[in-house]
Amino acid sequence: MNCDDIRRQLNAHLDEELDVMHDAEIIAHLDACPACADAALAHAARRGLTREKLQRFTAPPNLEAQIRDSLPSPKEKLSSPVNRPILRRLLPLAACMAIAGLGGYQAGVFQTRTRDSVDELTSSHVRSMMTGHSVDVASTSRHTVKPWFAGKIDFTPPVPDLAADGFPLIGGRLDQVKGTTAAVLVYQCRKHVIDLYVSPSAAKAPSGETSHRGFNIVAWTEGENHYAAVSDLALVELREFGRLWREQAHL
């Protein structure tokens, strides 16, 4: 595919609607073509900003009561002798359906929470690169970056030095993720920027590994904090960054 073909399919790529082969072809092209990569970042940034600016509506507090009042009242009671045998047979089935429905609801809530969190992290990472505001404090020294957070947030994140391992520190910033102020430690690997978001674990952000819109995320919870590393770096390298960061943070 040429550049025109790639750009026509950017929306489908960002919506994760393409099959694995076509998606891999687009990612390979974006890695080799800076112009198309910039176009993809611009698309992602616009979508993230649009999502943030959309007006949200909540149901009126009396809506549930109005719906209940509009429902017809039952005309027969199931407690009559004729209905008891049927009721006894239906109760176990109803219980199983209720349990299955609750499990499906909880799984759906978790998936939605995960998707929203991943989307916000990716949008924040893209926005910082698009605006050129990747750091509030620019420094390769952890002795400069770590004290900078003091007094600005209620916690101070560890700031290990990973330059010897190929992941030099370049600074830090504050950012908002799901209504929570996160400390963002910014590292680099060759030409790839790694944003490590650190926030209180009370936010209950999901942990694990995922890929979204051409970016990889490695997240974990440890102690009182939740950590999420976001980058277009290959997943295997980002995973290694997370392992090294955890090791050095405890030294």
pLDDT tens across 219-228, in order? Answer: 999 888 899 9
The model's pTM is: 0.57
Contact criterion met (CB below 8 Å) for 172 and 184: yes
Q: Does the pLDDT of residue 42 top 90, yes or no?
A: no
Mention every residue, 6+ apart, whose C-beta is less than 8 A from residue 191: none
Residues 7 and 37: their CA atoms lie apart, in Å, by: 10
Element (H, E) at 57: none
Report the candidate in 208, 193, 44, 172 with the shortest Cα–Cα distance to residue 119.
44
pLDDT in tens, 189-207: 998 999 999 998 755 566 7
pLDDT at 88: 58
Please tell me the number of Cα atoms within 13 Å of 34 on its side-chain side.
1
Residues 169 and 166: their CA atoms lie apart, in Å, by: 10
Question: How is residue 202 annotated by DSSP?
Answer: G
Contact criterion met (CB below 8 Å) for 126 and 196: no
What is the residue extent of each domain of the chain? 3-51, 134-249
For 15, the 3-state DSSP assignment is coil
Longest dimension (CA), the chain: 80
Give the type of residue at 108: G
**Which stretches of the chain are assigned E, i.e. beta strand?**
137-138, 169-177, 180-189, 192-200, 208-212, 215-222, 225-231
pLDDT at 40: 76
CATH architecture entry for 134-249: 2-Layer Sandwich (3.30)
pLDDT at 20: 62
